[in-house]
């Protein structure tokens, strides 16, 4: 049989081309292809699709969550004030469609309700953890679907958690540490000192370093602005030094000189929200919305969601490598799991059968014992009955004997009486 042509990948080395270590050749293009427009394609597609951003605000009732979100997006989201008398911590979830120039942003704001108002604050973090996990679960379920619809799917995973710290000036509350510790592996935490206008500048610096020391000593991981991207590395590393942000929120418009600014009016002057010498609001807004929104989303996907996904799939029995450290395919895992399940069913069936047989045997023994007991009782009764019959027979015999004797005596007495009558009659006749 004639041998067919061998389709082996041939490598032609060109001296001009650069040979990379992993055997991929880098070619220098000698004309226009058009793929330099790839970034534009991505930008256009992103603009068409719009963006989503999900913020979680955790902080005590009345700490300034709604005001800060309004100030960040320069919109009145018309959020009602919460009561201080909820028995449990809850979450208020609101989604808004915002537009800036031609960019659409689907913004979801999740705020705690009743946080810090309970006497027993131990489980206050639980509803937050449950909510964050539930969003990961929903995304995982979408990923695992046969027919996925990621274009229409509203990704509700939390991209950032703004943690509002009370401006006490002393230290973090134990509730702050417990909550942050429980959510730091699930969400990017950015700590904020709320209502920073209520602390003096000196105290604020001390408070900031106290908070950072407490977070470090308690092993709480907060979000670090990335320093591996040349364009943002410098500004991000200087911002990391500044954490936690000391923020002031206000939608009030105040006149300063000839300008109208947003700020808070005090007898001693005006605190301008967007003045970087007055507070860190602008820095927070720039970091959150201008510079690092994509990184926050990326971290959510590749770090926090990945962690959730991995542990969930591991719990379900999926793995990348087998016991011999060899990669295993999904099909192999499925087959192994199916076999394991089948074996388990078999084992349980055997166990059930064995238990059933044991029960039957036990019942059989019990029945036999009961039967024997009944038999013995029957024999006893039978004997007693026979004894009774014999006794009665004896009595009957005795009675019959007595009757016979009686008749004998009766006959004798009648004979005697007849003789007596005859004798009397004879005597009478003789006397006559
Ligand atoms: N001094 C000062 N007051 C603020 C600041 N931010 C908000 N407030 C005031 O604090 C009060 C509560 O603010 P909200 O924004 O409603 O607080 P919240 O955390 O959303 O409250 P709930 O949703 O009810 O839990 C309001 O009277 C605000 O004007 C701030 O930065 N400084
Ligand atoms: Mg509110």
User: How far apart are the C-alpha atoms of 66 and 71, rounded to whole Å?
Assistant: 9
What residue ranges of the chain have pLDDT lower than 50? Answer: 1-13
* Domain ranges, ordered by start, for the chain: 45-316, 329-420
Give the pLDDT confidence score for residue 21 in this predicted structure: 61
Q: Whole-prediction pTM value?
A: 0.77
The percent of residues above 70 in pLDDT, for the chain, comes to: 95
Q: Quick one: which atom of ligand 1 is closest to the CA of 112?
A: 25
Please report the pLDDT score of residue 432 as a whole number.
79
How many angstroms does the Cα of residue 141 sit away from the middle of ligand 2? Answer: 32
Q: Report yes or no: 223 and 296 within 8 Å, Cβ to Cβ.
A: yes
Q: Is 68:162 a contact under the CB 8 Å cutoff? A: yes
**Superfamily designation of domain 45-316:** P-loop containing nucleotide triphosphate hydrolases (3.40.50.300)
- How remote is the CA of residue 329 from the centroid of ligand 2, in Å? 49
Cα 65 to ligand 1 centroid, rounded to whole Å = 6
> CA angle, 149 as apex, 98 and 41 as ends, to 5°?
60
* Nearest residue by C-alpha to atom 14 in ligand 1: 64
> Is ligand 1 within 6 A of the CB of residue 116?
no
Give me the pLDDT at residue 4, please. 42
Nearest CA to ligand 1 atom 28: 64
pLDDT at 231: 81
* pLDDT value for 149: 82
Q: What is the pLDDT of residue 280?
A: 94
Collapse the DSSP code of 208 into the 3-class scheme (helix H, G, I; strand E, B; otherwise coil) and give the result: helix
Q: With 0-12 CB in 10 A as exposed, 13-18 as middle and 19+ as buried, what is 110? A: buried
Q: Is the CB of 62 under 6 A from ligand 1?
A: yes
The pLDDT, as a whole number, for residue 49 is 87
CB distance 82 to ligand 1 below 6 Å: yes
Q: How far is the CA of 159 from the centre of ligand 2 (A)?
A: 20
Cα(238) to ligand 2 centroid in Å equals 31
Distance CA 287, CA 216 (A): 22
């Amino acid at each position: 049989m004639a041998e067919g042509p061998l389709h082996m990948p041939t490598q032609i080395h060109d001296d001009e081309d650069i040979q990379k270590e992993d055997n991929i050749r880098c070619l220098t293009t000698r004309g226009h292809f058009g793929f330099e427009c790839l970034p534009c394609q991505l930008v256009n597609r992103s603009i068409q699709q719009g963006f989503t951003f999900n913020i979680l605000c955790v902080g005590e009732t009345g700490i300034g969550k709604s005001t800060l979100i309004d100030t960040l997006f320069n919109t009145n989201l018309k959020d009602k004030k919460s009561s201080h008398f909820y028995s449990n911590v809850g979450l208020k979830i609101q989604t808004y469609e915002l537009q800036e120039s031609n960019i659409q942003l689907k913004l979801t704001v999740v705020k705690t309700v009743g946080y810090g108002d309970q006497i027993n604050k131990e489980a206050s973090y639980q509803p937050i953890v449950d909510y964050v996990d539930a969003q990961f679960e929903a995304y995982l379920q979408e990923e695992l679907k046969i027919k996925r619809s990621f274009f229409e799917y509203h990704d509700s995973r939390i991209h950032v958690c703004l943690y509002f710290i009370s401006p006490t000036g002393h230290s973090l509350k134990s509730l702050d540490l417990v909550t942050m510790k429980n959510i730091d592996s699930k969400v990017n935490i950015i700590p904020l000192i709320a209502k920073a206008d209520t602390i003096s500048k000196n105290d604020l610096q001390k408070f900031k370093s106290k908070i950072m020391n407490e977070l470090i000593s308690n092993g709480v991981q907060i979000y670090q602005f990335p320093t591996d991207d040349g364009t943002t590395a410098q500004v991000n590393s200087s911002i990391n030094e500044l954490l936690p942000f000391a923020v002031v929120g206000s939608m009030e418009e105040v006149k300063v000189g000839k300008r109208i600014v947003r700020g808070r009016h005090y007898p001693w002057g005006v605190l301008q929200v967007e003045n970087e010498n007055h507070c860190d609001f602008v820095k927070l807004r720039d970091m959150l919305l201008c510079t690092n929104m994509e990184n926050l989303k990326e971290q959510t996907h590749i770090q926090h969601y990945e962690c959730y996904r991995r542990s969930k799939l591991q719990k379900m029995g999926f793995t990348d490598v087998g016991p011999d450290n060899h990669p295993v395919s999904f099909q192999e895992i499925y087959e192994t799991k199916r076999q394991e399940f089948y074996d388990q069913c078999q084992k349980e069936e055997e166990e059930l059968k064995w238990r059933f047989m044991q029960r039957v045997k036990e019942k059989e023994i019990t029945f036999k014992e009961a039967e024997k007991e009944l038999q013995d009782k029957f024999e006893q009764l039978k004997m007693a009955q026979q004894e009774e019959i014999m006794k009665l027979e004896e009595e009957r015999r005795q009675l019959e004997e007595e009757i016979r004797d009686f008749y004998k005596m009766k006959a004798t007495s009648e004979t005697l009486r007849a003789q007596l009558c005859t004798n009397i009659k004879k005597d009478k006749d003789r006397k006559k």
